[in-house]
Amino acid sequence: MRLLVVEDARALAAVVAEGLRDQGMAVDVAHDGLSAAGKLDLTAYDVVVLDRDLPGLHGDTLCRMITERDERPMVIMLTAAGSPGDRVDGLSLGADDYLGKPFHFPELVARVQALARRKPDARPRILRAAGIELDPVRRTVVRDGRQLGLSVKEFAVLHALLRATPGFISAERLLEQVWDEHTDPFTNTVTVTIGRLRRKLGAPPVIATTPGVGYRIV
């Protein structure tokens, strides 16, 4: 899952981004509305965590711009103004959810996951293929009845592979969905993570590689 956190308070943005990364999400950060708009033009995000009071380009304006896109991310709006009237205003701008500050971080995680599941192109919550069952909410993976212990990145890579099934997903796309914009595009981290994931999934092998195309579950 690829997220954009738009928050001008840099300390809060760093804490939110790091906490979401710990949940296996790929997170980019913008500290003002204009830079956020630029990132949105370059990257297809699943969810935008959007502070309402932003410099450069106000969060309300950015929210309207997002909702006018043909294929748009889901938006959860954050603000220190948490009255019912403020929530109505935020939702009327096109935000899909609204959370007042200060907030309980596990609630933010749960709301982000719920929004990702509500996206029009989202898959069912529990993903199944080749004897594998992955539950992104409970963060569990089972293959043929055997519980697997995966790292955060291994879990996220398997999640992306299952979402792409029966098609392929390229290494570049995996970098976009599982890591973030600061990852070296020439790194071998995808290959290494796929190798570890194959070993943990066990026999018979289920991750196929086609050079120049990518990976898929078979």
pLDDT tens readout for residues 57-89: 999 899 989 988 878 899 999 887 655 566 666
> What range defines the domain where residue 146 resides?
127-217
Residues 37 and 100 in one domain: yes
What is the share, in percent, of the chain residues with pLDDT greater than 70? 92
Residues 172 and 71 in one domain: no
Residues 81 and 143 in one domain: no
Residues 113 and 18 in one domain: yes
Residues 137 and 212 in one domain: yes
Domain boundary among 54, 83, 118: 118
Residues 99 and 189 in one domain: no
Q: What is the pTM of this model?
A: 0.67
State the CATH number of the domain containing residue 182.
1.10.10.10
Counted domains in the chain? 2
State the CATH number of the domain containing residue 114.
3.40.50.2300
Residues 166 and 102 in one domain: no
Residues 38 and 139 in one domain: no
In sequence order, the β-bridge partners of residue 29 are 5
- The pLDDT score that the predictor gives to residue 82 is 55
Residues 68 and 153 in one domain: no
Residues 158 and 79 in one domain: no
Domain boundary among 70, 96, 118: 118
Residue 206: is its pLDDT beyond 80? Answer: yes
Residues 101 and 150 in one domain: no
Q: Tell me the C-alpha to C-alpha distance, in Å, between residue 197 and each of 128, 151, 153, 189.
A: 16, 9, 9, 12
**Nearest C-alpha neighbor of 127 from the set 166, 153, 173, 72:** 166
Residues 102 and 152 in one domain: no
| pLDDT band, very low/low/confident/very high, at 95 (cuts 50, 70, 90) | confident
